[in-house]
Amino acid sequence: MSYYQGKRILITGAGSGIGALLAEQLGRQGAEVIVTGRRRAPIESVARRVLAAGGQAHARLLDVSVLEEIDPFRRQLHADIGTIDILINNAGVVFGGPFDEVPLADHLNTLQVNTLGLMAMAHAFMGDLRAASQGHLVNIASASAYIGLPFGSTYAASKWAVLGFSESLRLELKERRINNVAVTTVCPGYISTGMFEGARTPLLSPMLTPERVVRSILRGIRQRRPLVVEPPMVRGIDLLKGALPGPVWDTLAKRSGIASSMKYWQGKQ
């Protein structure tokens, strides 16, 4: 029997990309998926695909940036469907460009969606996860939680915060002996979903396929791993950054393309 059989799983930002593919794969593996997003048409289309493949799915509108709507959303979900076992905080936005040329509203929105929305969701649903026999909080961060992202500085900041939050909460739950709730942080490099259209991949960090990333995430959840890093060498870069003198790291970041990869970002057209 699949690990996911009979588990109720809520995914944020599931109308496209990684979230949509996770919903489809989880539906195929016997989970009951709650496909959420801020626009109705994409989430309903994903839910229909899950149902057509023989799975169970519900589409629910949820804009995670509207923090005060998260608690009422949870109460309605409990009334309509019930509690969840797994929360996948996947919703995310990015606005690339020179820091002072990107409108402040876009920088603030990045933190609102990627960081504050994610924390508010974790806070709202922690009771559900604690009540589940195998509760799980999955936070989608990014490789840029480890490595600075010039021309995407507030995106990196939002994801560094997610990594710090996730890792702290994971250790706190252990310390409090809340052993039935696992926390997994996912840190992928560039993925070909369109979110980073135009960005140039740095040396040794190929463009990942959504299929590869979703496979790793599903394995990571099954194995209740604290971290899923794709490609795994991202962690090596982090170690290198810590070990090298600052100017040597700066040269390496420039020569490897890390420093300029977001210069050509266009995002979803």
Ligand X SMILES: NC(=O)c1ccc[n+]([C@@H]2O[C@H](COP(=O)([O-])OP(=O)(O)OC[C@H]3O[C@@H](n4cnc5c(N)ncnc54)[C@H](OP(=O)(O)O)[C@@H]3O)[C@@H](O)[C@H]2O)c1
Kindly state the smallest distance separating residue 231's Cβ from ligand X, in Å.
Answer: 12
DSSP string, 226-237: SEEEESTHHHHH
Kindly state the smallest distance separating residue 205's Cβ from ligand X, in Å.
Answer: 11
**CA distance to 5, 146, 164, 171, per residue, from 238 (Å):** 36, 6, 15, 21
Query: Where along the sequence are the contacts to ligand X (CB under 6 A)?
Result: 12-13, 15-19, 37-39, 63-65, 90-93, 113, 140, 142, 188, 190-191, 193, 195-196
Nearest CB to ligand X, comparing residues 19 and 55: 19
Kindly state the smallest distance separating residue 3's Cβ from ligand X, in Å.
Answer: 22
In the bound complex, which residue of the shown chain has the CB atom lying closest to ligand X? Answer: 17
The overall longest dimension of the chain from CA atoms, in Å, is 57
Tell me the three state secondary structure of residue 166: helix
Kindly state the smallest distance separating residue 134's Cβ from ligand X, in Å.
Answer: 23
Q: Cis peptide before 210, with omega less than 30 degrees from 0?
A: no
Q: Is residue 146 annotated as part of the catalytic site, yes or no?
A: no
Nearest CB to ligand X, comparing residues 38 and 107: 38
Nearest CB to ligand X, comparing residues 12 and 181: 12
How far, in Å, CA of 189 to CA of 147, rounded? Answer: 10
Kindly state the smallest distance separating residue 267's Cβ from ligand X, in Å.
Answer: 9
Count CB neighbours of 165 within 10 A. 18
Structure tokens at 45: 């289309």
Strands (E), the chain: 8-11, 32-37, 56-61, 86-89, 135-140, 181-188, 227-230
Nearest CB to ligand X, comparing residues 24 and 63: 63
Q: Are 133 and 127 in contact (CB under 8 A)?
A: no
Please identify which of the residues 3, 4, 146, 155 carries the catalytic annotation.
155
Nearest CB to ligand X, comparing residues 39 and 174: 39
How far, in Å, CA of 191 to CA of 35, rounded? Answer: 21
Structure tokens at 229: 């890093």
Count CB neighbours of 169 within 10 A. 19
* Residues marked as catalytic: 155
